[in-house]
């Protein structure tokens, strides 16, 4: 595994810490600045995979919805024109 060192000017640390604190508060996490940066890099690395998975789920949801609508329409259109006959009361051949 590769290891990197990042140099950040001291003047930028308060702003960076504020961003980490805000994300920690929003997400219920307790990342340090280093952990936060590591997570940001990891998320960026899997972003394309997540977008593809989301698109596939969206397409499947749309297909499932279209099938459900078609089924509902078919059931609604295929209603018997008359009331079904109670076969127990029919006599004769």
| Structure confidence at residue 37 (pLDDT) | 94
pLDDT in tens, 24-64: 999 999 999 999 999 999 999 998 999 999 999 999 999 99
For the chain, percent of residues with pLDDT exceeding 90: 63
In whole angstroms, give the CA distance from residue 23 to residue 20: 5
Residues 37, 39: Cα–Cα separation, whole Å:
5
Residue 12, pLDDT score: 95
CA 44, CA 5: separation in Å to the nearest integer? 18
**Which H/E stretch holds residue 58?**
helix 33-77
């Amino acid at each position: 595994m590769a290891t990197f060192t990042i140099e950040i000017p001291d003047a930028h640390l308060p702003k960076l810490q504020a961003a980490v604190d805000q994300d920690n508060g929003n997400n219920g996490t307790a990342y340090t600045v280093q952990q936060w940066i590591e997570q940001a890099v990891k998320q960026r690395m899997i972003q394309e995979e997540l977008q593809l998975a989301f698109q596939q789920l969206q397409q499947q949801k749309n297909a499932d919805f279209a099938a459900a609508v078609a089924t509902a329409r078919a059931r609604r259109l295929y209603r018997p024109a008359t009331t079904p006959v109670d076969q127990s009361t029919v006599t004769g051949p």
